Chain A
């Protein structure tokens, strides 16, 4: 009766428990408590939300462990934190302080322009962003136990999250409909491990939980991503950059649970105050876009 820890089953299992829920970016312990009280299933502990990272410029790094620890003390729900793409020492530090999930995130400035972290080496599970099926399966191949769309963080514009969700789900539908002899060429075309492509084909979905992220700002945005087939949503700047964070947070939580009920969606969307201002993605110069980070 030996206990086994850090198996892939328990890593992806935590993400399964988060399904149908909202994971919120928070920058203080007070924010974290507001998020928990609003019904968040987890929080992402950060020094700056993506909208401020964009505005601030410079190199965006892992947050101060002191801040993350204070947020871990403030709530009973799981706490996630971000490290830079490829920065496995930031990941080691986050594992050492005991965060529940690491987001190897394009929102921070990448530390390696060719390689992501070998996530199999860690006991803590990882979530990674993806724009399409190939990218998602490469991350899972490296050990990611949860996937999210990249979207375009810090914009409040949902268009990229929709594009990435449709890409992943559309490619899975295509994969399921092709004869088996075409699968190897498909795996080559999308640059994904063949075994994971075969597993995805037989499951009809990614082998791990798949959340929406990047630009979700309203209850309707969140429900849109759920109706498209995502398992849950991350909301970054959309809550604490809005006029009434507590109310908006609670409304987005309700919208994710009742994503198929337009009457409840109408009710929870009323009187939420100002949404985050937002930036239309088509107005942002190519060089400032972050979804292209990661390979």
Chain B
């Protein structure tokens, strides 16, 4: 990341956007909150945080953000964590506003209610692109969705031990069921910044 300073937006309609912003700033990039369509201008990439996907959908619809976000995603990288991944998907098995940018089908609250929320170490081979150390990624799942199926051209980045998909990438689009922003581990954010800096 030499050269120009990257400017990354974090969708700030609701959710843990402050945690993403803190992580981005720690990595030395400019991070800005996005609540309105005009704030998407001049961004190099966008993160959609954890939160409630139904709330994102309602607010994005009422403030005219759905089409501008789709347009943004056709040109620039977007990463969705948890609710953000649901919002990025094309199908969540229920009628709620989705961006439909990424060819993945998600199952909301796939592990059950809050008492089933968990932490686990995941193997994420793709992170070798940003780190020489081959360490597992400690993943935090909170009322998390699963990526039930992926379409053609979508690469699976991580699975649970039983094979279920929890991270995927489709070109410039990235989806994780879990919350790298809640860990101290910056590798997923670095991986996303690499996508922003080297558009595929």
Contact = CB atoms under 8 A, between A and B. Distances in A.
Interface stretch (A7-15, A171-179, A270-278): A7-15
B59 interface: yes
A19 B15 CA distance: 5
A17 B52 contact: yes
B48 to A, nearest CB: 13
A282 interface: no
B174 interface: no
B118 A21 contact: no
B119 A41 contact: no
Interface of A: 1-7, 9-10, 13-14, 16-21, 36-42, 72, 76-78, 95, 98-101, 123-125, 250, 253-254, 256-258, 261
B14 A254 contact: no
Interface string B148-185: 00000000000001000000000000000001001000
Interface of B: 12-19, 35, 50-52, 54-55, 58-59, 62-63, 82-83, 94, 108-109, 112-122, 136, 140-143, 161, 179, 182
30 contacts: A1-B121, A1-B122, A1-B136, A3-B119, A3-B120, A5-B117, A5-B118, A7-B118, A10-B119, A13-B179, A16-B182, A17-B15, A17-B52, A17-B82, A17-B83, A19-B51, A20-B13, A20-B15, A21-B52, A41-B52, A42-B52, A76-B108, A77-B55, A95-B115, A98-B115, A101-B114, A253-B55, A253-B58, A254-B62, A254-B63
B6 to A, nearest CB: 24
A64 B97 CA distance: 33
Contacts of A41: 14, 51-52, 55
A1 B55 CA distance: 33
B72 to A, nearest CB: 19
A4 B54 contact: no
A77 B108 CA distance: 10
A10 B83 contact: no
Given A2-B120, A4-B119, A21-B52, A257 B94 contact: no
Contacts of B112: 98
B13 A257 contact: yes
